[in-house]
Chain A
């Protein structure tokens, strides 16, 4: 980076993405050029971005003004530690998805490869611009481009009506959210009409206006993040998109929303009130539980992952809420712990969720099936995909020594301090939040056993699955890149937290200390309070496993015979006797019955061809959205009365409007 600032390099790389996207239009039908070469170039840009942001993490903030934009409001840009964390996330994840995408896209699937290339890279670049925008106009501009690009990517298979419907729902809620964000910026400028973030930072709002701004931002960004009850678009839109795009949307785009909440509440408003945190904490924990419970009931593998994203965003949001509570009460070092747990979780989720989505993409290509009930036993036919996906599944189930566990560990440590909050009720209520986090994590393990077991283990549920082939070399690289990220983030928390500290200092004024910490041992709290050394942990497990294997091999013969599994003397064991996806989810449906709206179709005892069907749907949709839709429809019908079909009536409207306006102007 000598002679060149990080910000300008970053800008150049983002521009590079756009250029790559436009270059796709040169030969739009060529899979080799637009679908492969350009995606690889995009991956290089992503790697560059990751390097630059790694550099920028510990550098002082940089600012720049671009001479484009509105006449008296050019684009202001800024690259600070917080932006750098999320740029790093974007860069690292995009390398995986782009390389995978280079091997993934085929001809004849909906949108032409060239167009797809344009949409994909504009989507990437717009997310980058969201992160470095330093005024409301540039931010909203990039934000809307991001929404539009992802809308087009969701509707890649636009000939299917369901996908068009999913796209519409997504666009609708995205715009509701954008409205909230816009109004939030309107509050933040405080009547001075200075739309730069610098001006907003300098301005101190009164508590009422600050609260108003926070709530608007929480609503607006929450809609994008998929927090309950604004989550309904997420399980529709994410599965509809091609897998690399689903991966990007779940892994990166949702984090943009969390970035927005962080930026507004800690940076732009400046002094958060502590009880805002309770809102974020409550919504976050509820979303976490809700998401994971629904994930357990899904039968479509991509929908399952989409619901699991709601869970993870919920957990990150809970971390954010905890940070707000601590920061608002002046407990800065604890706030830093919670913020770092949250940022760490964002990084983790980006890697593991994109890994899992790409894994489902490989399965989808090999089998043409998204329905869990028609998969199974793929581990023998797709070993690469299976073993790499296993890493992601174990990581997202927050099992040590992988990365998901580190953020959960940090979050639980933060929860262990909530009894010190100097507020009655709160100091007793918040420690229970840890139980919800633990419950969500344990349920996530349940969901992942279901996801992995039903797809990759057991016996193929359909005869055609034996022809499934493993994914290609590029796709393997994409998967392996992300899996390596999961492992590294899990094994080297000390190094990661040292980088994240800069962002924590920016947000809450202090970072995490090092109390007897060594390069392999994470000890973020006071001396002797808690420590975790994943490398030692991993080496410990590994050496015991190897030693056991060695001893068993040395002292006992290793004879193995293969035979059919035991069928209890039944004699006709077949693949349909394994648990179906519905069957595996049954205990969760039973325990969490109030969450679901369940329709059952039960056979009677005398049916010759008994049929059993259970349909599980979201209560929120019926409780909140259906009435809303009805309301809008009625209002629309009311307005439709104006449309009389006579030209003279329309002219009359115009005339009356003119008169009223003149009256207003003169008065």
Chain B
């Protein structure tokens, strides 16, 4: 096997780091650390996007790398941290019972994602196609993170991490979505964040907590 060029190798490292961060999020109990990890994931994603942009010479990818940097590395984590401070949940931790079991499930999901991505990789004609599996895995792991959490804040972080995974998948498979779509998605995420921020205050007003199991009392009485 011929050795890969250095930029592809670096891209592979980035992909592996994304996967690692996804696992770190899955196992992290503290909410503040979760936000830090999200920022780190955004940074890795930004580097990966810039690398692909450099390799393919597509200028709009530089733009989306910048967008990633601004939105996912700087603005959203800042917003989240501010929210955490304002909501006074800085020391909150997730009551997670069985981290080992969750990890094992995560491993199986990775295998599933890798297997799933093999035929897609065969179809794609980009030079980054081998990382599609990792992108799918990151998305699914973020989903799993959301499922295993009870606090509203960490669910948001899981949601954003999922978006990162999808973005990376699009980049690996087709060198990114068209710019319009990307901008639209970014705007969506931003608005969703702002709306959710307002929501959190409302939720806390109502239940005096951000624990989502309080929602269970909202169902119709029989």
State yes or no: do A and B touch (Cβ within 8 Å).
yes
Chain A interfacial positions (CB closer than 8 Å to B): 424-425, 428-429, 432
In the assembled complex, which residues on chain B have CB atoms less than 8 Å from the CB atom of A424? Answer: 115, 118-119
Apart from A428-B114, A429-B111, 9 more pairs, CB < 8 Å: A424-B115, A424-B118, A424-B119, A425-B111, A425-B112, A425-B115, A428-B111, A428-B115, A432-B107
A428 to B118, CA, bound (A): 11
| A596, chain B: closest CB distance, angstroms | 16
Complex interface bits, B75-110 against A, C-beta within 8 A gives 1, otherwise 0: 000000000000000000000000000000001000
In the assembled complex, which residues on chain A have CB atoms less than 8 Å from the CB atom of B114? Answer: 428
| B162, chain A: closest CB distance, angstroms | 23
A425 to B111, CA, bound (A): 7
Residue of A nearest to B117 (CB): A424
A432 to B112, CA, bound (A): 14
A429 to B114, CA, bound (A): 11
| A595, chain B: closest CB distance, angstroms | 13
A429 to B111, CA, bound (A): 7
A429 to B115, CA, bound (A): 10
11 pairs of residues in contact across A and B, judged by CB atoms under 8 Å: A424-B115, A424-B118, A424-B119, A425-B111, A425-B112, A425-B115, A428-B111, A428-B114, A428-B115, A429-B111, A432-B107
In the assembled complex, which residues on chain B have CB atoms less than 8 Å from the CB atom of A428? Answer: 111, 114-115
| A215, chain B: closest CB distance, angstroms | 25
In the assembled complex, which residues on chain B have CB atoms less than 8 Å from the CB atom of A432? Answer: 107
In the assembled complex, which residues on chain B have CB atoms less than 8 Å from the CB atom of A429? Answer: 111
Interface centre among B107, B112, B115, B118 (most CB of A within 10 A): B115
| Chain A interface helix/strand/loop/mixed | helix
A425 to B107, CA, bound (A): 12
A425 to B118, CA, bound (A): 9
A10 to B155, CA, bound (A): 71
| B124, chain A: closest CB distance, angstroms | 16
Residue of A nearest to B119 (CB): A424
A428 to B112, CA, bound (A): 9
- Number of contacting residues on B, CB 8 A? 7
| B136, chain A: closest CB distance, angstroms | 13
In the assembled complex, which residues on chain A have CB atoms less than 8 Å from the CB atom of B111? Answer: 425, 428-429
| B196, chain A: closest CB distance, angstroms | 36
| A415, chain B: closest CB distance, angstroms | 16
In the assembled complex, which residues on chain A have CB atoms less than 8 Å from the CB atom of B115? Answer: 424-425, 428
In the assembled complex, which residues on chain A have CB atoms less than 8 Å from the CB atom of B107? Answer: 432
Residue of B nearest to A429 (CB): B111
Residue of B nearest to A427 (CB): B115
What 10 A-B pairs have minimum CB-CB distances, sorted nearest first? A425-B115, A424-B115, A424-B118, A428-B111, A429-B111, A428-B114, A428-B115, A425-B111, A425-B112, A424-B119
Residue of A nearest to B107 (CB): A432
A164 to B107, CA, bound (A): 46
| A171, chain B: closest CB distance, angstroms | 39
A424 to B112, CA, bound (A): 9
Complex interface bits, B134-151 against A, C-beta within 8 A gives 1, otherwise 0: 000000000000000000
| B137, chain A: closest CB distance, angstroms | 11
A428 to B134, CA, bound (A): 14
A90 to B114, CA, bound (A): 46
A424 to B114, CA, bound (A): 9
| A112, chain B: closest CB distance, angstroms | 54
In the assembled complex, which residues on chain A have CB atoms less than 8 Å from the CB atom of B118? Answer: 424
| A347, chain B: closest CB distance, angstroms | 34
| B149, chain A: closest CB distance, angstroms | 22
| A202, chain B: closest CB distance, angstroms | 39
| B51, chain A: closest CB distance, angstroms | 26
Residue of A nearest to B118 (CB): A424
Residue of B nearest to A423 (CB): B115
A548 to B118, CA, bound (A): 55
A611 to B13, CA, bound (A): 57
In the assembled complex, which residues on chain A have CB atoms less than 8 Å from the CB atom of B119? Answer: 424
| A422, chain B: closest CB distance, angstroms | 11
| B164, chain A: closest CB distance, angstroms | 23
Residue of A nearest to B111 (CB): A428
| B14, chain A: closest CB distance, angstroms | 21
| B105, chain A: closest CB distance, angstroms | 14
A54 to B44, CA, bound (A): 63
| A501, chain B: closest CB distance, angstroms | 33
A503 to B81, CA, bound (A): 67
| A420, chain B: closest CB distance, angstroms | 14
Complex interface residues of chain B between 160 and 175 (CB less than 8 A to chain A): none
| B185, chain A: closest CB distance, angstroms | 30
| A431, chain B: closest CB distance, angstroms | 10
Residue of A nearest to B110 (CB): A428
A428 to B108, CA, bound (A): 10
Complex interface bits, B112-131 against A, C-beta within 8 A gives 1, otherwise 0: 10110011000000000000
A424 to B113, CA, bound (A): 11
| A258, chain B: closest CB distance, angstroms | 29
Residue of B nearest to A591 (CB): B100
Complex interface bits, B27-64 against A, C-beta within 8 A gives 1, otherwise 0: 00000000000000000000000000000000000000
In the assembled complex, which residues on chain A have CB atoms less than 8 Å from the CB atom of B112? Answer: 425
| B193, chain A: closest CB distance, angstroms | 36
A428 to B107, CA, bound (A): 11
A432 to B118, CA, bound (A): 19
A424 to B117, CA, bound (A): 10
| B132, chain A: closest CB distance, angstroms | 13
| B100, chain A: closest CB distance, angstroms | 9
A425 to B113, CA, bound (A): 9
In the assembled complex, which residues on chain B have CB atoms less than 8 Å from the CB atom of A425? Answer: 111-112, 115
| A286, chain B: closest CB distance, angstroms | 14
Residue of A nearest to B100 (CB): A591
| B154, chain A: closest CB distance, angstroms | 25
A424 to B116, CA, bound (A): 8
A306 to B114, CA, bound (A): 40
| B109, chain A: closest CB distance, angstroms | 12
A134 to B119, CA, bound (A): 47
| A423, chain B: closest CB distance, angstroms | 9
A250 to B2, CA, bound (A): 52
A432 to B107, CA, bound (A): 10
| A418, chain B: closest CB distance, angstroms | 13
